[in-house]
Structure 1
């Protein structure tokens, strides 16, 4: 803060050393009281030292210049210096003189301002005029604007540096030349108009036009043209030309932007930081129903539902912080009260200094979009359902074709191969004495065995028989065994109670589990997995899990890279397959944390019937067996005539075996058993209508003393073995082994004390 004490002696010595200039030097305090008044000041102002020491310096300042002097003092007290500043002073006799001030702050040793010094040189009228003229010349020379003078005929008489920069011509090139050199041909009439106005003493201000540079380019300028008057006579014109190209470009850009706002199909609104509307375009009128007159100067809350007023506080807070809000979906209210969905994009509006002064808002009416999206969604869902149904039908059609092809292979090719082996067995018995022939027959038998094994594998790949014969649970166990050939160890956990499913559901679920296990083998980097199936009244759940590499499901779902562990199309296929059944596939996985896939399916609980569900007739209804005779009576049951013929040929070779009948299906077999009461029934498993498992169960239940020996091309399958044993069969043989083992199995049977 300035100190009000008088300047120190050391400061005075410095100041007094300047007295040789002959100009008055006055020292004053920061409050304006005079502390030093020398002879030069007495001579210039007519006051003695005794009259001025301690008096205010304002005694020398005319009243009309007081404000000007106070501004000068304020500048000095900020630590600035003023040089060659013209001011008027009043002398003791009341006359006024012009002085040239050079003023400086006076500081103590600590740098604090303690007073002011003022060197005040009186200037004559001529000196002041010359100084003013030089000053004006300097202003003209240093001006950024073009300042030009010309005669009343348009000849250039002065040309400053600003004109050189603006138009590209030097002063040498323009002095004495016509100003029309700068005017485009289509604007020459403007100069006539300007000169006429000048001759009549008129002044033109901010006249916007276009002028031509030396290089031929055009520039937008604003002209201020004034008459030059000498001794009351107009002798020429002075012209100030300002380059307004940027302003014009900005104005055109602003006009273009204004046109965009006006013609926009979306509402565009601006508002203050208090939420007061400052602009409202025609689209806003159409969407919200309010006119611009109704909305400008009103609060934007007028179109915001009361339960969403808090949104405006959030929006304005973000705008004040200079943040932009994009695609903010919300609800707004029309003039008629209707609520409409909108998407807002809101930006801060800044002034030239970068200060946020408001907000601009673009509103997208989502009503039509939502209706369109809803319509398209319905269409897409309908198409999705159709495609899903089609995909399901195609999948089932594929499975049916597989099943059909597998049946053809099983029912014809495999049976023919079996028949061939049976015929070879007969041939081998007849050729025991012919070694060479026996060797050929053995080799042929081996070829047929290989063909039979290959056919059996092919049938399994096409459509595992166990699925349609024993259901989904048994199929999953079989699948675990099947995966061993790929060095996979699959743990299967099943519910205690078995579950009956429609064939199409069982096929699709089995297929899905198989594909998931194949994915584990290919991509998980592990040789172990677990399959868990459980169900209750709410539905069925099958979980396939591993502790392998895992993956990112989000990345897998968006990637087309077939190397990714998703096998993306495979998972999509399974997911759509499950959706078509009314179920779902849920994948949980993460890199290095393994993968769990859960198949869920709503269902109605339909447990398998017990194998021995038929009521056993009372003992009185059963015919007693006759005492053991010399021959064992046998009934052949197989749906293939050629196989029955082959078996018959084998059995007829044994004298203690008598065939009492043949049947091609389970129902016929049961009827013949009731009629013939054979000792042994040779029962094929796979037959149309009632299969061999159910027929065996019913025969054993009704006639416990009858022995049933099962036959099947897939006789080694453990599920078939278990099923026939549970049904009551004594054993299950493969058809290709029948030639060697069937008679042994029959002769090894133990019968009750009677047989037919």
Structure 2
């Protein structure tokens, strides 16, 4: 048999050695892949081999470790000293390690570092069956043990926390639940883990949770918030919520951790503190009002006594003088009595008029007259007084301000207050200009400008306040009650206008009033007039009904409306709103798009075939507990609409134009055709647009008399169009009727709510914007 024969012993030996080498290579590769250390010990207990990982962990290179006792190379904490005198193979056999059994140890590396390891040891046997060495396989577990220690420590902190700590996956499934959560919500950990977090959230706040999850997925930071959650028994709990994302080892967000703290008592304390603060503030305001009124009454007493003393004194001279009074003197005394009497009457009328305006019972007699002629006549009346103080009095009257429908007596009263003050408080030799300017087709500006001392910001803030008089400079005329400017502002507001001042110390002042060309109430609605018992025309105080089931969202609006003298009511039931409109006059509704889970538009408008469509002054879209987007509108046209619906809208067209131009915006071509035909039936021309963008582009070039706007359109819907229109001052009062289906699906309402939220996030459609439409009174005290 030759040596090349496979059965030859030498060939078999070579094959066995090759297989052993392959096994060693495979073992080395496997151990390296799991970062495991390997040490081979011979039968004397000395190191014969070790892999790279073993060298790295122990700190012993193979070249130095080979031949050394394993006791020297693999040292560990707690090893008995007597082991060092024995063969490690015998020790291993005595300890009876089972195959696959790992034991934790702390290895002391060559440089003294303690390393936590898990060791697997086994005795190897030779061909004769006797032990010929041992093998140690171990892994560095330091990082794992540290992580486990940190996890145990964190778990202990979580369990001992007084705050409820809840973990959840991105689908809302609860993954962890501490003892504080059990106490707060009433569910045990076994019950809560695996349950949906939605079980803890009131139905009206589920949108809040969905928004939180959506923001977590996007990686947004979620600020702490105060909200409401439900306990197992259905009790509502006020909580402060902190939310943190939970990430996996790759940094991917896989869930969230929430810390919930019960703030019921804190809120109660806060509310109690707010009530106390409110009472203290009210008390301060009452004391200030009493002080101010006392000062006013003292001043008023002096102002009334001055002309009254003159009247009584000169009358006594005429009646009781022992010496006959000459005709010249008699005429002088009568003239003094007449002048003092007129002055006294003016002051009394100011007080009475102010009280009437505040009570909403001021009388107006709107007639058509020429503003320029009326202003010129009053200037000529006061010109002698101005000349006596060496003032140069000029007029600058805009020819575009034509005839107006207002009360000429009230206009004269306003201008008289401004002009007489300018003459009184401007130093001798000053310049005074009375100016008018057209403000579009709906209003005009009347102002009186002087080059006097001017006013500080603090003085401007008090100018139009009742019972407030500014401190006069030495030598200034002290006549007057201090009610003139307050009355001027009230008279302007009662006609749908506004009053203000622009001034700077040392540079004079400009007092202005903006009035409508047709008498209107500050709600933006033309005032209805009735004849009272005295045969005079009395103005109806407009009435606004707020239809919404969340009073807190509309409290500011209602307070601001009441401040202007508007009668304001609230109802959370649209059926009740309809009954109010059917039995009593309502000038405008501020209507929630969704009231008590129902479509407010549908229930309000469809009261019955004979019911008139009440005006809708604004639409509210509630976004959450603290935010509402409000959009001023002229009214609502239902879809489908009848010719009567459209005719009633046209009746409110700008300034009663005989042949108004109407812009219709709707993405549905059939709806546009139907509306076009309906308008033609009324003899009205229409401009039709299928996209909001095209309509807004047209408004840059031309302005229609009225807009009919669909709410639901692609790309840019009705709310965004309304916001864009109201941003432009020249379109602020352009009538816009919402044209929309009365039956809005849940998806459609959600879509409109999201659109309203986008508009609100840009700072548009907020309360000031709504009031600017309902109450055209500048919120600031600067010039228009």
TM class by shorter chain equals: 0.3 to 0.5
Which has more radius of gyration? 1
* TM-score for both structures, normalised by structure 1: 0.39
* TM-score for both structures, normalised by structure 2: 0.38
